[in-house]
Amino acid sequence: TIDLESVRQALSHRSLFYDKGGEEHYNLISALHKSIRGSDPQAALYWLARMLEAGEEPMYLVRRLTRLASEDVGLADPQALVQAIAAKDAVHFLGMPEASNALAQLVVYLATAPKSNALYNAYNQAKADAVSTGHFRVPLHIRNAPTALMKDLGYGREYRYSHDFSNSYSYQRYFPEKMDEKTYYRPSAFGFEKEIRKRLDWWENLRKKQIEQDEEG
């Protein structure tokens, strides 16, 4: 007879094993991912070791950790993605088991890095708009104009080359004409994104000033 207690015992015993293609594989990678996202390097190292010592393919882990570097750390620490690619190279160069320390280094780096999903959210929002507005044309002034005919048709006309302006900045519309200007990327207050937020605020002030100047004259 199968009862609730029997199921619990079976699940408990099963957790001692590792099935690369089964439920426990996904349970363990989930535990590793969530430990890193939760900024717990101790637990992250444990789950990494569980997977490696059970024979997990190291490049699978590198791929997942590279994704995590952009999804959960992002521009709060731009070095996260660099570290992930370096770990990939180390795995290729060293092989296992020597590359285990490189993977451990990456896991600890990601777990202790400032976290932000601002980039992840920004792309998903942009993707949704791209799907729904994919028929909107590129504005003439920012089109490529490699031929005389294209120039005669207005391609590239009235484009403002930013380096010709003070602060190497010149406001102009870059979104399609039928589309409102959007704000997808909203940097967090953590890590390097604090600096990015300052830059965006600075450019926004320049944008407002230039709009006022254009309206005046």
Q: Backbone phi, then psi, for 108, in 5-degree steps? A: -65, -40
pLDDT at 16 over 50: no
> Helix or strand or coil: residue 215?
helix
- Report pLDDT digits (tens) over 73-122: 999 999 999 999 999 999 999 988 889 999 999 999 999 999 999 999 99
- Report pLDDT digits (tens) over 26-84: 899 999 999 999 999 999 999 999 999 999 999 999 999 999 999 999 999 999 999 99
Q: Name the maximum alpha-carbon separation found in the chain.
A: 86
Q: In CATH, what number does 118-216 get?
A: 1.10.3710.10
What lies within 8 Å, CB to CB, of 205 at 6+ separation is none
- Report pLDDT digits (tens) over 183-197: 999 999 999 999 999
Yes or no: domain 4-112 corresponds to CATH 3.40.220.10: no
Instruction: Provide the residue ranges of all domains of the chain, joining segments of one domain with +.
Output: 4-112, 118-216
- Range of 1-10, 20-29, 67-76 with top mean pLDDT: 67-76
